Structure 1
């Protein structure tokens, strides 16, 4: 852990893996597969002491480093998510969607809101093959593969909403919906009970 990130280790400060990294990842997943209608969660803090850079010191950690949830989305499909911190292999991201007509696999070497994703798919049987983004979906192809590629699209969506009076970019209402989900996850993990999410 780098010294400037120590604040993320304290659950009471609210800037944890659950609220930041997991929050971004579950937001992406929810926007693709739909909002969870109910959730049951388990969390754990597996590493209670974390090395502080190359100083030889260790610092305490109270924030969750394991988050596992399961729940149903509209239409009855079941979503299962496991997010873990401190993996030796790096962040990594994998989303698999099995449907009645085929399969989609979305992967990334790091967090999907930071770096590029790869999409593979198949209809019916067979091995999934890489799906190429159709032209016209990327307004900034010259930035593909950079850390700001996703960010520039987000800022452009905000700009377009302000100029054209549209509502494409996530807004405060969207943020409240996502934080209600995070709150339901915390409450479910604390009580062991399934929590319903109301619109």
Structure 2
């Protein structure tokens, strides 16, 4: 039996996304023997010490604290894989020193603010010969895996079209019309965390994972909420507002390399409705809880009949844990790499060019 992969985790504090989702998925009992958290790194000495104490207690062994420059945890001889969970504008500057130290790495999507940065990260990874793992975990949903199985088995015949309708409800407060203070940076498109980049990126990866790549793509968009109201630290509405011109509603269509037609819409009130139609039948996925397939399992129907999917009751931790397991087991194609992130960014870049130029983009 192979030894557990020794993980150093950048951005793992005692609270926040990494603490509430990524770390629990990595440390869940089903992954014992596959990973060993040995070090953490945060921006300050105090937060790093608190995090190290928390996870030393949780894991039952000493976890080393680092803070500041990412090269420090990457130089730890006990670290084999560095996980990076920081804000997107910091991705490139944090992960490049990790790669230069020839450490394999996990990095959250979008793996850079834009296509250029993601390509730089990918080129560095290839140059140093390190393995990569990117947080595009929708493909690890047991429902998505079941759909892939159904399509491959010919259950619906040749796929002719797919329609995806998704919505990020305003109540999440990630994007306008109401946002939390820590998400103000998302209002600057240059930071790479628009709703299209984040939610759209996860959706597009799942779509192309199941149905193959696009050959052409066309997009239209509008800005329904030109102003964002900022909440205070307690979640109460303030008088502070910020103007934004970032489109928040999109209609995207294109032809897949298979010849199938794909349509994606981010409007309406349906959180998630995804239909895949073939010559012999249809698949439908629905969710009333979230548009993020990487965090929640939609309900699956085949020709109108509900399909029970093993493991679908386990939501965020289960899906993220499946991605960690796929990487540890070396199941290439079942976890996303930095090359998948580049491909995803090329598609998002084509959507932006279509919006700017008002025409169909040939990929």
Alpha-carbon deviation of 1:167?
4.5
**Maintained 8 Å contact 1:10/1:62:** no
Tell me which residue corresponds to 1:155: 324
State yes or no: 1:75 paired with 2:251.
no
Alpha-carbon separation, structure 1, partners of 2:315 and 2:333: 26
- Picking from 94, 114, 124, the partner of 2:295 is 114
Alpha-carbon deviation of 1:100?
1.0
Alpha-carbon deviation of 1:48?
0.9
Alpha-carbon separation, structure 1, partners of 2:224 and 2:333: 40
Alpha-carbon separation, structure 1, partners of 2:315 and 2:302: 24
Alpha-carbon deviation of 1:6?
1.3
State yes or no: 1:192 paired with 2:355.
no
- Which has the higher Rg, Structure 1 or Structure 2? 2
> Counterpart of 2:252 in 1: which secondary structure?
strand
Alpha-carbon deviation of 1:63?
2.2
Alpha-carbon deviation of 1:34?
1.8
> Counterpart of 1:184 in 2: which secondary structure?
helix
| CA deviation profile, 1:135-190 (whole Å, cap 9, x unmatched) | 5xx4xx7xx343222111111111111xx7x4531111111111100000000110
Tell me which residue corresponds to 2:344: 178
Q: Would you tell me which structure has more helix in proportion to its own residues?
A: 2
Alpha-carbon separation, structure 1, partners of 2:318 and 2:295: 8
After superposing on structure 2, the runs of 4+ consecutive aligned residues of structure 1 that deviate more than 3 Å are none
- Picking from 181, 185, 188, the partner of 1:3 is 181
> Counterpart of 2:250 in 1: which secondary structure?
strand
- Picking from 24, 27, 30, the partner of 2:205 is 27
Question: What residue ranges of structure 1 are gaps of 5+ in the alignment?
Answer: 123-127
TM-score, L = length of structure 1: 0.82
Tell me which residue corresponds to 1:97: 276
State yes or no: 1:42 paired with 2:220.
yes
CA RMSD of aligned residues (A): 1.8
Alpha-carbon separation, structure 1, partners of 2:334 and 2:295: 19
> Counterpart of 1:70 in 2: which secondary structure?
strand
